[in-house]
Amino acid sequence: MQIEKDIILFVNVEVLEDIKLCVMKAKPNEACGLIFGKIEEQKKSNSKDEFFYHFYGIKFECIESSHKSPIAFLMDDYNKLIEISSTYSKEYNYQLISIFHSHPGSAYPSGIDIPYMEGYYKSGVSKFKHLIWTIMNANSEKLNGFIYIFNELKQIQILEK
């Protein structure tokens, strides 16, 4: 899988600890949640029209999966998702930057995940167009990030901040 070098997700220590706790509580099932924060666009020094995008994960909301399973998660309470997103937007001026879930033995998208990633990208809803999908291996606690962009799935770097 190709790596997108112009996009980095910075996750603060509190968010990382909250994610690990969310995964632990959901075991042996997949955990899921939302990461909120800010996105900064930074112009590349050697170019007029090329940019770096830094996503800053500042708050995490663990969400109970509607489908308790070790191989799938489901966030189907759309009213709750809108309420949570609106709260973070109004109270903190943060936007939804990542949908998170765990896998029992991998930190990579499954065959089920990829069509959802593509679907959100192609949905036409601007807030879903450039979402990062974070996936944690529930056993090793490795966290990986992915973005569906320019009609392909790419891995991004995640750094602890």
Amino acid at 26: A
The architecture that CATH gives domain 3-39+59-160 is: 3-Layer(aba) Sandwich (3.40)
Encode pLDDT of 15-33 as tens digits: 999 999 999 999 998 999 9
pTM of this prediction exceeds 0.85: yes
* Spatial separation of the C-alpha atoms in residues 68 and 79, rounded to whole Å: 19
Are the CB atoms for 113 and 133 separated by under 8 Å?
yes
Encode pLDDT of 90-147 as tens digits: 999 999 999 999 999 999 999 888 988 888 888 777 667 789 999 999 999 999 999 9
Q: Where in the chain are the domains?
A: 3-39+59-160
Q: DSSP class of residue 65?
A: -
- Identify the pLDDT of residue 78: 67
Structure confidence at residue 69 as a pLDDT band (50, 70, 90): low
